[in-house]
Amino acid sequence: MSSKGSSNMAKMSLSFDGIVSNDCQQNPDFCMWNVVAFLYCDGGSFLGKGGKDPVAKDTGFKTLSFSASAPIQECTQTKTAATQWRCLFPEEYYKFVFTPMFFANSIYDTWTRPNALKVSCSAKTCPDSNLATVYTNRDAVRALAREISGSSKKHAVFLTACPVHRMMIQPWLSLSVFGSPTMQVTLTAWLRHDETMSGSDVLLDITPAVEQCSSVLNR
């Protein structure tokens, strides 16, 4: 158990940045909103609210309930039993969500590289032997962003070349080094249904991306 999953170990006060900041210069669209922090690593966060026991007794692992989430249910109906798990991924899930969505992601996401791609890259360095894998994933993210942006005007995508993670709750929301137009400007345009503003594509190799974003990475 950790502070992310136990109220007994959680911090009594937290500071918020980015989209949950109360600084109206950094976050003009949401600075006056109330903010609630939910601990999400306690094992109780399941997709949907099915009546079945979410614990698979034969394996001891917890499973997701597909029965109560309408988008997930619609998605799984288009898949075979062996591929229904793909409905947990944004590239499949978003197609069945009616609510407009704003996506923000780094083309060099620092969680994806070690955990999904299984390559040994830090935020600032990446061995040449891993670059082909990293660039293949980068191009896949860019292609998906174009697909989402083109599928419906109600969705918007912001991409950055800065190798970071957890973008929306960091103080980078309004920094031009993070992207131009900035994530905050792109978010505002999406909220106001301004289709002339788009930050849905970016292309930099990883070395110039690190150099461009050095002021962010050194914080």
Q: Alpha-carbon distance 126 to 30, whole Å?
A: 36
Instruction: Enumerate the H helices of 10-157 as residue ranges.
Output: 70-76, 90-93, 112-115, 131-151
- Could you report the per-residue pLDDT of 87-116, keeping only the tens digit for each? 888 888 888 888 888 888 999 998 888 888
For 5-57, the DSSP string reads T-TTTS-S-----GGG-S-TTT-TTTTTS--------SS---SS--SS-SB-T
Beta-strand ranges (E) seen in the chain are 102-106, 156-160
What does the block give as tokens for 5? 């999953």
pLDDT at 159: 92
pLDDT at 90: 80
Q: Which of 205, 203, 161, 208 is nearest to 183 (CA)?
A: 161
- Could you report the per-residue pLDDT of 159-168, keeping only the tens digit for each? 999 988 888 8
Categorize the per-residue pLDDT at 214 as very low, low, confident or very high, splitting at 50, 70 and 90. confident
**Lowest-confidence range among 44-53, 74-83, 180-189, 194-203?**
44-53
**Lowest-confidence range among 129-133, 138-142, 152-156?**
152-156
Domain ranges of the chain: 1-45, 48-99, 100-219
Q: Alpha-carbon distance 31 to 182, whole Å?
A: 17
Q: Alpha-carbon distance 135 to 141, whole Å?
A: 10
Length of the chain: 219
Q: Alpha-carbon distance 182 to 172, whole Å?
A: 9
Categorize the per-residue pLDDT at 5 as very low, low, confident or very high, splitting at 50, 70 and 90. low
Q: Alpha-carbon distance 3 to 81, whole Å?
A: 36
Percent of the chain with pLDDT over 70: 79
Categorize the per-residue pLDDT at 84 as very low, low, confident or very high, splitting at 50, 70 and 90. confident
Categorize the per-residue pLDDT at 138 as very low, low, confident or very high, splitting at 50, 70 and 90. very high
DSSP 158: E
Asked whether the predicted pLDDT for residue 121 surpasses 70, the reply is: yes
Categorize the per-residue pLDDT at 198 as very low, low, confident or very high, splitting at 50, 70 and 90. low
Asked whether the predicted pLDDT for residue 207 surpasses 80, the reply is: yes
Asked whether the predicted pLDDT for residue 60 surpasses 50, the reply is: no
Cβ-based neighbours of 185, under 8 Å, separated by 6 or more? 174, 197, 199
